[in-house]
Amino acid sequence: MPFRLTSDDILKYMRQPFPCQSVEPDENYDEADVIIAGSGPVGMTFARTILENNQDVKVLMLDIGSQDSAVIGEHHKNSIKYQKDIDAFVNVIKGALQPVSVPPADTYIPTLLGNGWTPPLGNNGQSTLIFHGSNPSQIREKNLKASAVTRTVGGMATHWTCACPTPHDEELKTNPIPDLERQTLYEQARKLLNVHNDQYDKNDNGDDISIRHNVVKNTLLKELPKRNVQSIPLAVERRRDNPNYVTWSGANTVLGDLARFKGRFRLRDEMRVTRLSSDPECATEVGGVCLRNLKTNSDVFARARAYVITCGAVGTPSVAAVRNLGVQLPALGHYLCEQSLAFCQIVMKQEMIDRISNNDEWKTRIEEHMGRHPQDPLPIPFADNEPQVMIPYTSDTPWHCQIHRDAFSYGDVGPRADSRVVVDLRFFGKQEIQKKNRVIFFGPEKSPLSWKAGVKDTYGMPQATFEVERSQQDRINDQRMMKDMCDVANILGAYLPGSYPQFMEPGLALHITGTTRIGEDDQTSVANPSSQVHGINNLWVGGNGCIPDTMGSNPTLTSVSISSFLPACCLH
């Protein structure tokens, strides 16, 4: 029979001497100096920072997902087959993403005759069916319908775009970390993520690496001279053995070589962090964490001196909400911001293709390609890399623009056009900070549908419910952003049929911030500037949820910079 923890079991484990240097993980009990929940780039930043600054410390990392690659947390797009066919990677992303909050669907089937079972009519006169993992508490109009999570070792860094732009000062208004120190932390984050902004421009010999990248970038530089058009800073490095390909950074990049930690780092996958338990002798400290081994369906109790939760902007507040600690966190889940997303795809103008054909620098490469493939109508080698261009956020245009060709859960070209002439435009708009925008885990107030009544997600954790609305100013800025995207698109080419300018489903940007925001005030933030949870001596949080600002830029660089602010003395 699977082991189930009781309160007596928890007390028994807490009374054991700690740390037990000879302890080995078993079915019911585990321990380390530091326990980190979540194995994405932020969790790895905490792990590396702690291990490098505390030479005798042992770290136990837990993840609810499985390890799906031989290298811990590696980016799945490093496979050559996906770099040869970027559209094929779309299916990898679709398979990795799991929706956060899905309202029950209308399942009335008018053509179901005879004696077939149908769900009874509800109070609203509609026939609904509660599928496993669906959320009967979700109000459709306040949902981030497309919001999703990735449950695997490495998290979303197994398929992210690796875009790491430096935010504008307006995107850092509320960040409590001092300016000078913040600049140092950003530089540290770039090193951890291996960020470069030249891997698609020129090689060591001064030759253009990507024809498509340079023709798109130069076209926009000419037509938009005041917009600071530039290459996207990417967590990527061109391979030395074959420069046609690159190595995308994953969580493994942040952690670095495991061998230097000499066995002080352990990872246990498919372990659900169920709840935090307070120390019976100190209500303001975590005394242990209750886990569920998903492989054996058994409970495990684990102890540490310090605990770090980095389970994403939805998963982290979920874990923090399920606790029996005597501390109130009024800001938990509130101040949620998510980016609006405008999207379209264009087919490059004929004059841009002509410019490629007539460029003397690319002549040799084009002739070699045409010699091998005389029937190809395009003067672009098949191995030519995609464009990676951006127009940064400004006060006049408060949105972040990416003009590139990459894989998302949408936007695959398929047989409609040659992917070499297709360019994606993604414009990300920030959202006004409002306390009422939130994610909650116990159902709306006065609702009988609480976690205790059985409303859980597919992994048995409290079901996340969104209450998010964009303000009137958000709508005005979104409309301006859409016009700007159309203007930029018309510079580059004609719209690809089926990918006309459109706003995407709320939540699809996957860039939620604010749910565990850092700050000085324990009423308006969850953790202090060092990410230590207010009122709890040995608990830290990390991830995009810690960002206290509203942003148009990609948030990962900022999240990693915040988590690297963890003081070395956190274990003392």
**DSSP-assigned states of every residue in 324-338:** --S---TTTT-S-B-
C-alpha–C-alpha distance, residues 77 and 93, integer Å: 10
C-alpha–C-alpha distance, residues 181 and 114, integer Å: 71
First to last CA, the chain: 40
C-alpha–C-alpha distance, residues 379 and 420, integer Å: 10
**Of 551, 525, 527, 523, whose CA–CA distance to 337 is shortest?**
551
Tokens for 236, please give them.
């990527």
Helix axes 211-223, 472-492, angle to 10 degrees: 110
Tokens for 407, please give them.
């894989």
Contact by Cβ (8 Å): 82, 159? no
Tokens for 345, please give them.
């795809």
C-alpha–C-alpha distance, residues 495 and 499, integer Å: 7
Give the CA distances from residue 373 to residues 61, 215, 368, 382, 491, in Å, rounded to whole numbers and listed in that order.
Answer: 50, 22, 9, 10, 30
Is there a catalytic annotation at residue 159?
A: no
DSSP 396: S
Q: Is 490 helix (H, G, I), strand (E, B) or coil?
A: helix
Q: Cis check for the bond before 501: say yes or no (omega within 30 of 0).
A: no
Q: What are the DSSP E strand ranges found in 186-228?
A: 195-196
Is there a catalytic annotation at residue 214?
A: no
User: Which of these is catalytic: 135, 175, 477, 554?
Assistant: 554
Q: Cis check for the bond before 136: say yes or no (omega within 30 of 0).
A: no
Q: Is 187 helix (H, G, I), strand (E, B) or coil?
A: helix
Degrees (nearest 5) of the Cα angle 164, 165, 169?
A: 135
C-alpha–C-alpha distance, residues 333 and 311, integer Å: 13
Place of tokens 């709508």: 475
User: Which of these is catalytic: 369, 400, 511, 534?
Assistant: 511
Q: Is 75 helix (H, G, I), strand (E, B) or coil?
A: coil
**Of 4, 18, 110, 107, whose CA–CA distance to 303 is shortest?**
18
Tokens for 44, please give them.
């790895």
Catalytic residues: 511, 554
